[in-house]
Amino acid sequence: MATKAAYKRLSKEYVVMQREPPPFVWAAPDEKDILTWNYIIHGPPDSPFTGGEYHGVLLFPSEYPFKPPGIKMYTPSGRFQPDKKICFSMSDFHPGSWNPAWSVATILTGLVSFMLSDEMTTGSVTTSDAEKRLYAARSHAWNIEQRRFKEAFPEYCTPTLRPLPNMGEKERGKPDTPTVASPSTASSPRPVVPSMALAATNAVIPQKNLGARSRKVARPGVSGPTANPGDASRGWAATWRQVVWEKWRWGVLIALAVVVSRITSSA
């Protein structure tokens, strides 16, 4: 049974996981036991695990975050023994190196990194890259036949592999492309809010309306197919009066200057 500290910490980490999941990883606690978390890892690009889907579990002690979890991977991967605890620096094999500041996201990110390495340890196996690729190609079909996977991730039990919320697009310099949730994907961990799609639709203005507004705001004196001829004539008349006034004013000033100059000279 989880202590109050463990329950509070893991609840907070689930909120963070939903808001900012790490690349190629998704995880969620068991509905009946918050100390048991199921996770999915998708094989990163340019690796023998590309296209693979790997299901496993994190087994947290009641003393978490002051003690590390046990870690297993169920899906055959060619890297770890299925359903066997994995020994690496963030697992319960190394309580002395555990850091209480580490989180679920930290652990799973570390597991992905360890998975990509060739380091041999308890729970690991040795296979070729070709064998790992073969396991990756078969992984999703294997997962959706497993009761544990169906219960933990029913939304991922689809005929084809479904991407995780964060597939590392931002990390590779590619912006995430939001998609509108359909009835078949309504249970996605990060569904797109329908109002966002509605707002995007309302933002598209028909060209006819744009033309109507442009005709209404046409300025006087601007010629064109949408300008009013009466407005144009009034604009030119106003311009002509301005020109005449400017010339007349300067003419008066020059004449006044000549008169003053002559008076001064005769004096």
Instruction: Give the residue ranges of DSSP H helices in the chain.
Output: 4-19, 104-116, 129-143, 147-152, 194-202, 207-216, 229-266
Verify that 100 and 227 share a domain, yes or no: no
Q: Are residues 52 and 167 in the same domain?
A: yes
Q: Are residues 69 and 157 in the same domain?
A: yes
Q: Kindly state whether residue 76 falls inside one of the protein's structural domains.
A: yes
Among the listed residues 154, 158, 90, the one whose alpha carbon sits nearest the alpha carbon of residue 121: 90
Of 215 and 134, which is predicted with more confidence? 134
Q: Which domain holds residue 238?
A: 222-267
Of 54, 91, 89, 55, which Cα lies nearest the Cα of 71?
Answer: 91
113 in the same domain as 16:
yes
- Let me know if residue 179 belongs to a domain: no
Q: Does a structural domain hold residue 188?
A: no
Indicate if 230 and 168 belong to the same structural domain: no
Domain tally for the chain?
Answer: 2
Which of the listed residues 174, 191, 212 is the one where a domain comes to its end? 174
Q: Give φ, ψ of 173 to 5 degrees.
A: 80, 20
> Residue range 204-225: average pLDDT?
39
Are residues 234 and 166 part of one domain?
A: no
Which residues contact residue 171 at a Cβ distance below 8 angstroms, ignoring those fewer than 6 apart?
23
Question: Looking at the domain assignment, is residue 245 inside a domain?
Answer: yes
Q: Is the domain of 16 the same as that of 99?
A: yes
Task: Give the domain-ending residue among 174, 202, 235.
Answer: 174
| Mean pLDDT of the region 52-72 | 98
In a domain, 165, yes or no: yes
Are the C-beta atoms of 122 and 87 separated by less than 8 Å?
yes
Domain boundary among 111, 144, 174: 174
The one-character DSSP state at 105 is H
Residue 189 lies in a domain: no
The predicted pLDDT at position 114 comes to: 97
**Is residue 55 located within the same domain as residue 164?**
yes
Pair 113, 236 in one domain = no
Are residues 55 and 149 located together in one domain of the fold? yes
pLDDT of the residue at 216: 40
Q: Quick check: is 80 in a domain?
A: yes
Q: Is residue 142 part of a domain?
A: yes
Burial annotation 17-43 (CB, 10 A radius, 16+ → b, else e): beeebbbbbbbbbeeeebbebbbbbbb
Q: What is the pTM of this model?
A: 0.66
Catalytic residue of the set 28, 59, 87, 105: 87
Percentage of residues of the chain with pLDDT beyond 90 = 62
Same domain (yes/no): 46, 137: yes
Q: What is the CATH number of the domain that holds 149?
A: 3.10.110.10
Among 112, 82, 110, smallest CA distance to 98 is for 110
What pLDDT, in 10s, does the model give residues 94-126?
999 999 999 999 999 999 999 999 999 999 999
pLDDT at 87 over 80: yes
Task: Mark whether 67 and 131 lie in a shared domain.
Answer: yes
Distances (CA, A) of 39 to 25, 73, 149: 7, 9, 10
Q: Is 157 a catalytic residue?
A: no
